[in-house]
Chains A and B, each alone.
Chain A
Amino acid sequence: MLAVALSFDSDTQTFTQGFLGLNGDSSSLAYKIGEGARTAIDYGLIAVDIINTPFSPTPDVGLIGAAGITSRAVGREVAGTTSRFVDDAALISRRGPDFVVTPRGDAIPIPTGATGPYPTRGVGFQFTGGSGGAGLSPRVSNVRIMEPTTPRGPSPGYPSGYVNYSNSLGQSVNPYTGRTIPPNDPMWHLPLRP
């Protein structure tokens, strides 16, 4: 899975982006700023075309629109296209982006003020410690972006991965209401587009 993290600095009117590459091993995150991207800012809307990025096996196009984005830069250039993320501390101290966009155009809102992406073991990455924003309930603190899973029990499997939102206690919630939900609620696993 390849995803793009977006951020816009309203002070300097500059746009930054980071590429999060997950190739079956999410401990190897590729992360890069700016290269191969065009930006357009119009009426508070940010649109991004991602063209021939060095991380993408095929030219993918991601498009996102967002207003009122205030995040600061999130990225730091890492040499090489599949660099192992050796500087976790640099990531951890970093404020997260406003959205993460997948190559298929799924825009994943990141709770306002959340930090990350945090490296993890094998199955995904997350942003934590935020609150609401971008249509999310203020009770939403964290978001996990997970790698594909196979069918398990009643779970249909998520061939392109899924997204999970949780509150400050790590309990899965409906991202719009902030209310806790059971695992069979469709809002627990928000599938990413194949």
Chain B
Amino acid sequence: MDIQDLTKYEQILQLIIGEQLSSVEFVQDYIQFKFDGPVLTAISHPIVKVNDKFYSWNEPDYRDEICKRISIKVVKASICPDESVKVYFDDDSIIEISIRVEDYRAAEAVKFDYDTSKWWVI
């Protein structure tokens, strides 16, 4: 992925800053995070970091911890090339979606829909 593209993607991702995580949808075996409009689809399984503890897919409390982020505002969003997409919440928790090649589960790892028909995909 071109670094310039990722920089643009990261700029666009800033749209969710200040927005709350309004809902979480578990679809088949991936997750959609919704921010009262913009939707971040994590095809690669995200991890959640809460109080220095990491929760991974299929671990106990994983889904609970994901859903506990609902209603919490986003304070930061970043894309680290070849590493991950990270969403930082107001309670110091982080949702991290890997974009490392070895972690891809399909041709796409993350998709972000931010307007009726605007989107990017990594």
- Residues on B with beta carbons closer than 8 Å to the beta carbon of A169: 25, 32
Does any Cβ of B come within 8 Å of A105's Cβ?
Answer: no
Task: Identify which of residues 47-103 in chain B touch chain A, using a CB-to-CB cut-off of 8 Å.
Answer: 101-103
In the bound complex, CA of A166 to CA of B28 (Å) = 14
Task: Identify which of residues 89-103 in chain A touch chain B, using a CB-to-CB cut-off of 8 Å.
Answer: 92
- Residues on A with beta carbons closer than 8 Å to the beta carbon of B2: 122
Closest to B4 in A: A122
Does any Cβ of B come within 8 Å of A7's Cβ?
Answer: no
What's the nearest-Cβ distance from chain A to residue B41, in Å? Answer: 7
Count the A-B residue pairs with Cβ separation under 8 angstroms: how many? 77
Closest to A185 in B: B28
What's the nearest-Cβ distance from chain A to residue B113, in Å? Answer: 5
Contact of B121 among A118, A123, A128 (CB under 8 A): A123
Q: Among the listed stretches A15-23, A50-58, A59-67, A153-161, which one makes contact with chain B, having 4 or more residues with CB under 8 Å of it? A: A153-161
In the bound complex, CA of A3 to CA of B103 (Å) = 31
Does any Cβ of B come within 8 Å of A181's Cβ?
Answer: yes
Task: Identify which of residues 162-194 in chain A touch chain B, using a CB-to-CB cut-off of 8 Å.
Answer: 162, 169-171, 180-184, 188-189
In the bound complex, CA of A104 to CA of B9 (Å) = 32
Let me know if B113 and A184 touch, CB within 8 A. Answer: no
Task: Identify which of residues 115-168 in chain A touch chain B, using a CB-to-CB cut-off of 8 Å.
Answer: 115-116, 118, 120-124, 126, 128-129, 146, 149, 152-155, 157-158, 162
Closest to B108 in A: A183
- Residues on A with beta carbons closer than 8 Å to the beta carbon of B101: 152-153
- Residues on A with beta carbons closer than 8 Å to the beta carbon of B104: 152-155
Let me know if B102 and A182 touch, CB within 8 A. Answer: no
Let me know if B29 and A149 touch, CB within 8 A. Answer: no
Does any Cβ of A come within 8 Å of B39's Cβ?
Answer: yes
What's the nearest-Cβ distance from chain A to residue B84, in Å? Answer: 15
Let me know if B119 and A149 touch, CB within 8 A. Answer: no
- Residues on B with beta carbons closer than 8 Å to the beta carbon of A115: 117
Let me know if A184 and B118 touch, CB within 8 A. Answer: no
Let me know if B28 and A118 touch, CB within 8 A. Answer: no
- Residues on A with beta carbons closer than 8 Å to the beta carbon of B29: 182-183
* Extra A-B contacts (6), CB below 8 Å, given A120-B119, A155-B104, A155-B105: A123-B121, A129-B116, A153-B105, A158-B107, A171-B27, A183-B28
